[in-house]
Amino acid sequence: MVLQRVISYSLLGLLISFLLFASNTLKAQDTEVRSVRVLNVDYFGAELEVDLFLAEKEEEDPAKYFYLLLDAQVANPLKTKVDIAPGNNKVTVYIPRSEHREFSVTVKEVLVQFFKGNRRIAGSLFNNEPFYTEVYRLKIVWPSPQDATESIVGSVPIGYDFSAITRLHLNRRLPEEEGVVRVLLQNGLPISRIYKYEPSPNFPVRKTITLAKEIGFAAQRKLLSVLIKELGDVEWVKLEDLGANDFVYVGSMPARNKKPPALGRKAYIALREGMANEQEFYSYLNFKQIDKSESFDARHKKAAELLDNSNKWKLKEAKKILDGLIQKNPKYAPAYVELARYHMKSDWPKGLLKAEKLLLEALELKPDLADAHVLLGYVYTKQKRFSAAVAEYQKAKRLSTDNLWLYANWGLNYQMQGQAQEALDMYLSVLRTPSPRQNTTYVRRWVYKYSEFFGLLVALGKIREAEVHYDEFAEKYREFKCIYQDKAALRLYYTDNVSGAIRSYLKAEKYGCERDSATLALAYYMRWANLSKLSNNTLELEETVRKADLLAPEDAVLLYAAAISAKTSSLIPVLLANGKKIDRPDSRGMTALLYSIANQHIFATRTLLQSGSSVNRAYEFEGRFYAPLLIALQTENKDMIRLLLEFKADPSVRLPNGLTIEQLAQQMGMEELLRLLKRNSSV
């Protein structure tokens, strides 16, 4: 949506990567890694010796360092960071096992990547470019754990000798831990070695254990017997989704929420001693067994519900169900539609191609399957095949589908083509059209939160309507209370209701939302400016400006925030007159103008240039090069480049590395943008 935080940090991250690339034009030719060998390996980590030579010609920048990556994966590169000096280096590097996030017990290769630059920018592997990389094929076999508490969160270890595990004692019910439990049980870990969960802050009133999937009645009964004996005085037992998610809750009666029936003495003894037959077992637990002859439609529905969740375990479970349906009946078309969704959610964007193939198969089997047309249209929309997408949406509409994703996807199709009113009409159809389907909350929430719905309302001047929808969104979806910050920004930038903007910001803070100090400070400055015209109350004026000064961020962020709209830009001369500097870089090296260009905000950029911001200022900050035209090249926004050229941006300005911006564009292969620059330089 348009009304977001003042700064898009994802764009900023990409920008910094580009600036580092621009500043690092020379490659070291003589640097080499002579050898990498394994010194020691235990369950928790590996010790490697690296023998290397760093070329002397890099000496002008002494802060060199390198990372080791196992199988090109590392969760926290700082843990393998080693500083080195020019010349010969033989260093020992310890790599924590937890940084190798493979679903395997074997490391197949080690990558050595060298970096250079100031130590203050060495903190992130992803915001810096390596100047030298070498790959060594080594084999590191991680030993099996002695205790399953050593299992790595985030992976399910495959290939261990599970007989070596002496106990399993988990602290919290996390999907990763559930996966470890299942693997252990399926690999023969005796149930008697599985211990109860310890109470944790997240689960203060219940103790939980997870069963392996589909381990059968006998194993369930035995596990429950062990748990009851270990826990002693058990008052209740509850099973949920037995045979599917397989959660068993055993312990004292919950202090709140809905209480399950307490166990009677007969049931308690039968469950403790493992004497109940299958019918008695489920009867004692008040649990309805899953019908093994469950219909295809019911299993399809379950898979669809699992796919609505992005949890990787639920996605895998959904795929297992869908694969089973197709295996039993290859002509069951609805399963292909959900399998297409699986590939899109688990392997984006490559999964679009698999999804398209599956959806075409579904339509061969059942040409009137509206859901397949709706999803195929979405695939075409994301591939920018807009006409083909519309053809699919029209087919679905003729089939009188009640799938609200038809209108959501159709709206996205219009939005991506810049057809604002048509996109808005489709999004409003999602919000207003009744549907008997159960997932209407999901799709309507998507329109509010993840589409450009509010941005379209603003672009079309429907400010009051946007305010109403913000209130509806916050009321219907209480988990998104921070939406009040967006409502506050709407009021600040597009209405005269500055006091209402401040109230909305403070309301969001009351719900625990992170403070957006730039726009809140701006709101107080606006209030101060308005009061200065209407009131002689000196105390009120001083208190308002004091709040603004306390909240105000660095000049760059504040002035960029002020430049976003015509209403707030009137403050810029006032802020400059009171000591703010329009071209002062902040702690990231960014100025207000650079923020507006990085966030591709044309109006703010024009406003700042008209307010005196320098269009040709080029400088270096902590190893990165900065210039307005350079950042516009990185965003590849032609309109932004044209605007800067209109204000006499000079492509021949030299960066600190000696290259002109025009030469850099040529090196980067930006032919179309280069033509824009050349046309300007020849005028």
Whether residues 390 and 456 share a domain: the answer is: yes
Verdict on whether the full-model pTM lies above 0.85? no
Whether residues 234 and 352 share a domain: the answer is: no
Q: Residue 293: pLDDT above 50?
A: no
Whether residues 445 and 318 share a domain: the answer is: yes
More confident call, 529 vs 106: 529
Percentage above 90 pLDDT, the chain: 19
Query: If you average pLDDT over each of 29-33, 126-130, 415-419, which comes out highest?
Result: 415-419
Q: What is the domain-level CATH number for residue 599?
A: 1.25.40.20
Residue type, 644: L
The secondary structure element, H or E, covering residue 84 is strand 82-84
pLDDT of residue 125: 37
pLDDT of residue 404: 92
Residue 517 lies in a domain: no
More confident call, 59 vs 98: 98
Residue 66 in contact with residue 74, Cβ under 8 Å? no
Q: Residue 507: pLDDT above 50?
A: yes
Whether residues 334 and 430 share a domain: the answer is: yes
Range of the domain at 56: 31-141
Q: For 576-588, what is each residue's pLDDT tens digit?
A: 988 899 999 888 8
d(CA 37, CA 50): 7
Total tally of structural domains belonging to the chain = 4
d(CA 171, CA 187): 22
Residue type, 335: A
pLDDT of residue 99: 62
Domain limit, last residue, from 228, 256, 284: 284
pLDDT of residue 148: 53
d(CA 423, CA 417): 9
Whether residues 386 and 447 share a domain: the answer is: yes
Whether residues 193 and 336 share a domain: the answer is: no
Q: Residue 14: pLDDT above 70?
A: no
Residue 362 lies in a domain: yes
Of 40, 63, 181, 192, nearest in space to 121 by CA:
63
The residue count of the chain comes to 683
Whether residues 279 and 306 share a domain: the answer is: no
pLDDT of residue 23: 52
More confident call, 278 vs 681: 278
Q: Residue 453: pLDDT above 70?
A: yes
Q: For 625-639, what is each residue's pLDDT tens digit?
A: 788 988 888 787 888
- Sign, CA dihedral 473-478-484-485, equals negative
Contacts of 572 by beta carbon, 8 Å cutoff, 6+ apart: 559, 562, 563, 582, 607, 608, 611
Average pLDDT value for residue range 585-605: 90
Average pLDDT value for residue range 129-154: 63
Residue 522 lies in a domain: no
Query: If you average pLDDT over each of 76-85, 97-106, 212-221, 374-383, which comes out highest?
Result: 374-383
Residue 563 in contact with residue 572, Cβ under 8 Å? yes
pLDDT of residue 298: 81
Residue 12 lies in a domain: no
Whether residues 136 and 185 share a domain: the answer is: no
Per DSSP, which regions of 105-245 are E strands? Answer: 106-107, 110-116, 132-136, 140-141, 207-210, 236-240
Q: Residue 253: pLDDT above 60?
A: no
pLDDT of residue 17: 54
In the structure, what pLDDT confidence band is assigned to residue 145 with cuts at 50, 70 and 90? low
Domain limit, last residue, from 421, 450, 480: 480
d(CA 68, CA 333): 47
Q: What is the domain-level CATH number for residue 386?
A: 1.25.40.10
Q: For 265-288, what is each residue's pLDDT tens digit?
A: 788 788 888 888 877 877 777 655
Residue 503 lies in a domain: no
Q: Residue 123: pLDDT above 50?
A: no
Q: What is the mean pLDDT of the chain?
A: 75
Compute CA distances 272 → 64, 237, 268, 275, 419, whole Å: 63, 11, 6, 8, 66
Average pLDDT value for residue range 174-192: 54
Whether residues 597 and 453 share a domain: the answer is: no
Whether residues 137 and 152 share a domain: the answer is: no
Q: Residue 425: pLDDT above 60?
A: yes
Residue 652 in contact with residue 681, Cβ under 8 Å? yes
Residue 467 lies in a domain: yes
Q: For 302-345, what is each residue's pLDDT tens digit?
A: 888 888 877 777 888 888 888 888 888 888 899 999 999 999 98
Q: What is the domain-level CATH number for residue 86?
A: 2.60.40
More confident call, 165 vs 360: 360
Residue 156 in contact with residue 179, Cβ under 8 Å? yes
Domain limit, last residue, from 109, 125, 141: 141
Whether residues 237 and 200 share a domain: the answer is: yes
In the structure, what pLDDT confidence band is assigned to residue 421 with cuts at 50, 70 and 90? very high
Residue 4 lies in a domain: no
For 316, counting Cβ atoms within 10 Å of its Cβ (0-12 exposed, 13-18 middle, 19+ buried), the class is middle
Q: Residue 39: pLDDT above 50?
A: yes
Residue 445 lies in a domain: yes
d(CA 378, CA 384): 10
Residue 93 in contact with residue 82, Cβ under 8 Å? yes
Q: Which of 197-201, 511-515, 555-559 has the lowest mean pLDDT?
A: 197-201
Of 509, 518, 527, nearest in space to 555 by CA:
518
Whether residues 663 and 569 share a domain: the answer is: yes
pLDDT of residue 340: 93
d(CA 642, CA 236): 71
Of 470, 471, 515, 522, nearest in space to 493 by CA:
522
Q: Residue 531: pLDDT above 70?
A: yes
